[in-house]
């Protein structure tokens, strides 16, 4: 199933997210595969919406009705992810 992409989405690689989060690239991929970091596989590579990643770590809730249930990072409460500081 194809995932919708919004017009202003800034795609990032696992390496770029790792640099931003100051993690190893393998840690980013591991977190994404566990559903703890929102992203999706494109072939053998992980891709991330950098704006979404930045919001998650700024403590801003992310709400998306565009992404289907089961997407990495979506929760059972309608796609709302709430991060507590």
Q: Rounded distance, CA 20 to CA 60, Å?
A: 17
Indicate which CATH number applies to the domain containing 73: 1.10.10
pLDDT for residue 39: 95
> pLDDT digit of tens for each residue in the chain (85 aa)?
445 555 667 999 999 999 999 999 999 999 999 999 999 999 999 999 999 999 888 876 656 555 444 444 444 444 444 443 3
pLDDT for residue 84: 39
Asked if residue 4 is part of any domain, the answer here is no
Asked if residue 1 is part of any domain, the answer here is no
Q: How many domains does the chain have?
A: 1
- Domain limits for position 74: 11-81
Asked if residue 20 is part of any domain, the answer here is yes
Residues 6+ apart with CB under 8 A from 9: 49, 51
Asked if residue 6 is part of any domain, the answer here is no
Asked if residue 51 is part of any domain, the answer here is yes
pLDDT for residue 76: 44
How many Cβ atoms from other residues are within 10 Å of residue 29's Cβ?
A: 20
pLDDT for residue 62: 57
The token pair that represents 37 in the structure block: 């970091």
Asked if residue 5 is part of any domain, the answer here is no
Contact 37, 72 (CB under 8 A): yes
């Amino acid at each position: 199933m194809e995932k919708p992409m919004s017009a202003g989405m800034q795609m990032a690689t696992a390496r770029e997210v790792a640099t931003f989060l100051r993690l190893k690239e393998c840690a980013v991929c591991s977190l994404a595969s566990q559903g703890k970091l929102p992203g999706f596989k494109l072939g053998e590579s992980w891709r991330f919406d950098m704006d979404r990643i930045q919001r998650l770590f700024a403590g801003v809730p992310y709400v998306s009705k565009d992404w289907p249930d089961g997407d990495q990072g979506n929760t059972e409460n309608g796609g709302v992810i709430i991060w507590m500081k």
